Structure 1
Amino acid sequence: MNVNLDQLISLRHWLHAHPEISRQEVETAKHMRGFLTEHATPDDIIPLDGAGFAAIYNGNPPGKTVLLRCELDALPIHEINTDLPHLSLTDGVGHKCGHDGHMTILAGVAQALKQRPDQGRVVLLFQPDEETGTGARNCVAHENFKQITPDYAFALHNLPGFPAGAIICKHDTFASQVRYGAIRFNGKEAHSAQPETGASPSFAMAELTLKAREIQAIYDRPDAYALVVPVYNQMGVQASGICPARGEVQFTLRSPHADIVIKMWDELFQFADTLADRYNLEVSQEILEEFTATVNHPDGFDMIRQAAASTNNALHTIDQPFRWGEDFGEITSRYKGAMFGLGAGENRPDLHNPDYDFPDEILTNGIEMMVALIKLSLKGSAA
């Protein structure tokens, strides 16, 4: 496998030091395009939604198309591991999900493709906005995605808590369905000495927050978990004489099954509507983010299993899907494919922790896996 590891590590460190949050990844995308153009020139670059783009590597003869995806965005988390030589230069923003490592892995795949695949076509998707759940959805809906239409699609995510370089995968649902939504109440302000002359959302918000536990208990079970988690609330102003008129509660709902998430949200809002009648309020709802469950196709899972065996990476199969959401589900719901985890080390800080840093030592494991998946996907694909 012909890759320049020193070059890739330097790239990863630059990306880590220059993080950009979702919908703002302009410089990140520009840097990645420049790296590819200089070190592994693609046959074409197709612009997609936002800062997103796809780098195309054509084989000869033509045939099937395999898509590999990485993410451009970082998180609004302040980095605290100040001993890093590649410390984030942007206050309050850090690559605390390891997307800098994912981009670098695809850059390594691009280096390995300098001589082009034996047949078929490889598409490297550098996708924006994963952390908001909108990036994959908007990229596949983009007019230019019609030029791609993959036969297979794969993605990875680094996973602390597993042995470094291990491959983690699962049949069927790999990452959960997630909905993040807001329920808002609107009433009438009053003097806090005479609250009965107004309509405050305070008790409705409290009762709705407690109702979340009851709804979760109905659907949560050992073989398929369910979560309804209040994550934010806001009401009133800091003034002793004002009884508030407006309030908002935000919830995150999670389950392996989309229908369960929808049912839980509907029951939550129905109860909010009942409370609004009781307390003389208006009520509204807004879905802020939605992550489609990432469901692994049987063929995709089997290819990951074969790739792990051919690269001598230990394969760990899990029984339950991960509770976090991943917008790669927007792609696996449309095309054959699968997602797998890449172990980042058992004693490493968890994802989204302020001291997390993607381990450079697993870059080669990720590159080897992706290259193996390309070969499996395009095998026998000649037209």
Structure 2
Amino acid sequence: MIIDFKILIELRHWLHAHPEVSRQEVETGRYMRRFLSDHAAPDEIVSLAGAGFAAVYEGRAAGKTVMLRAELDALPIHEINEDLPYRSLQDGVGHKCGHDGHMAILAGVAQGLADRPAEGRVVLLFQPDEETGTGAWSCCTHPDFEKIRPDVAFALHNLPGFPKGAVVCKTGTFASAVKYAAFRFTGKEAHSAQPETGASPSFAMAELTLAAREIQARYDGPDAYALIVPVYTGMGVQSSGVCPAKGEVHFTLRAAEGRTVERMWTDLLGEAEKRANAYGLALETETKEEFAANANSQVSFDMIRMAAAEAGADFIEIDRPFRWGEDFGEITQRYEGGMFGLGAGEHQPDLHNPDYDFPDTLLEPGIKMFSNLIQLALRQEARF
């Protein structure tokens, strides 16, 4: 297996300098297709939703299909790393989750597939829109996904705060179920000297925010966490004489299991309807983003642990899921699979910080892990 790390680092730096947010990753997708064509040509490229695509590497004989996933999108976060020669060229947009590194890792895996597996096939999924929770779903439900449906699928995520190169994993939920939703109240404007002649959403919004804290307390516990976090409010105009008619408040709901999120959502919706009725308001809700819990099966966990041992990597088994959402859960709900973390260093800035930069030294351990998983998954005796 010959990997050209110089070219991979150049690729990662180009991606870092040219970030595109979710649903706008057109040039990122084109660049990755071009890179693969020039340096690790697949047997087929299958176009999927948005800018997403899958590169297919056919083995010399029929067998299982193993899929690996990387994400195309960046975040609407302005980079503050002024000293980086490859800093983001897009104001207000940056690869602050390390997806540039994930793509470069998959490109390195593609280089290693030049000789093709003895049997089976490898599918490298370059997925759009992870940060909105819609990308994996839109790819899985695309008609052409049937051409590449996997027997097993794996993904990784770089993790600041853990030793560099360490593999982090657990069985069951690895990344949480998340729902991001908006509540919009509409009443009637009035003079602020006569608020009783209108219908303001102000107290309904305030009471709903306080009720959210009480609902969270009912589900949160030492054995399983639950969170309801108000993340946005907006109401009225900046005028001393106008009592507002419209307002909205947004919440993010998180838990290790999707059913807990749905129960909290049902309770929160009930409280919102109660407040709307009490204050004479119309209520409209919108689920803006939703992430299924990312669950690792025992089989996939064991394969990840074995791959780490073969790579000589430290293996850290955590006992609680990460609180962030990851839309790879849409894939593990449908197919056998698992996700693991790759330590990015204990003193790195955190993910989604404006100064985060994926360490180039993670490319090699990431490629090793995925390459080992390919070999494990395509063996005759693999059971899944």
What's the counterpart of residue 21 of structure 1? Answer: 21
Query: What letter is aligned with 1:201?
Result: P
CA distance in 2, matches of 1:120, 1:259: 36
Residues 96-121 of structure 1, C-alpha deviations (whole Å, 9 max, x = no match): 00000000000000000011112100
Residue of structure 1 equivalent to 2:212: 212
1:245-283 per-position Cα deviation (integer Å, ceiling 9, x unaligned): 011010000000111100111111101111111111111
Q: Distance in 2 between matches of 1:253 and 1:19?
A: 28
TM-score by length of 1: 0.99
Q: Distance in 2 between matches of 1:351 and 1:373?
A: 25
Unmatched tracts of structure 2, length 5 or more? none
The answer for the alignment partner of 1:82 in structure 2 is: 82
- Once residues 361 and 6 of structure 2 are traced to their aligned partners in structure 1, the CA distance between those partners, rounded to angstroms, is 11
- Give TM-score scaled by structure 2 length: 0.99
Partner of 2:356: 356
* Partner-residue secondary structure (3-state), 2:322: coil
- Structure 2 residue 302 is matched with structure 1 residue 302: yes
Deviation >6 Å, runs of 4+: none
Match of 1:162 in 2: 162
* Conserved? CA contact 1:63–1:381, under 8 Å: no
Amino acid at match of 1:275: R
Give the Cα–Cα distance (whole angstroms) in 1 for the partners of residues 16 and 62 of structure 2: 36
Q: Distance in 2 between matches of 1:370 and 1:138?
A: 24
Inter-partner Cα distance in structure 2 for 1:114 and 1:67: 16
Counterpart amino acid of residue 104 in structure 1: A
Contact 1:64/1:381 (<8 A) preserved: no
Residue in 2 that maps onto 1:227: 227
**Does residue 308 of structure 2 align to residue 290 of structure 1?**
no
Q: CA deviation at 1:381?
A: 7.5
Residue 62 (structure 1) shift: 1.3
Q: Where does the alignment leave 5 or more consecutive residues of structure 1 unmatched?
A: none
Give the match's secondary structure for 1:276.
helix
| SS of equivalent to 1:81 | coil
SS of the residue corresponding to residue 67 of structure 1 reads: strand
Q: Which amino acid aligns with 2:309?
A: A
What is the deviation of 1:179? 0.3
Higher mean C-alpha displacement, 196-205 vs 276-285: 276-285
Instruction: Report what 1:187 is aligned to.
Output: 187
Measured on the aligned residues, the alpha-carbon RMSD in Å equals 0.9
After TM superposition, the structure 1 = structure 2 runs for residues 1-383 of structure 1, keeping only pairs within 5 Å, are 1-380=1-380
Q: Deviations over 1:119-149 (max 9, x none)?
A: 1000000000000000000000000001011
The CA distance in 1 between the partners of 2:114 and 2:239, in whole Å, is 65
Distance 2:347 2:381 in 1: 42
Distance in 2, matches of 1:333 and 1:377, equals 18
Percent of pairs identical after alignment?
67
Q: Which SS does the other structure have where 1:9 is aligned?
A: helix
Equivalents in 1 of 2:86, 2:164: separation in Å? 21
User: 1:165-205 CA distances to partner (integer Å, 9 max, x unpaired)?
Assistant: 00000011100000000111110001111111000000000
Whole-angstrom distance in 1 between the partners of 2:35 and 2:166: 28
CA distance in 2, matches of 1:118, 1:22: 37
Instruction: Tell me the distance in 2 between the aligned counterparts of 1:293 and 1:117.
Output: 32
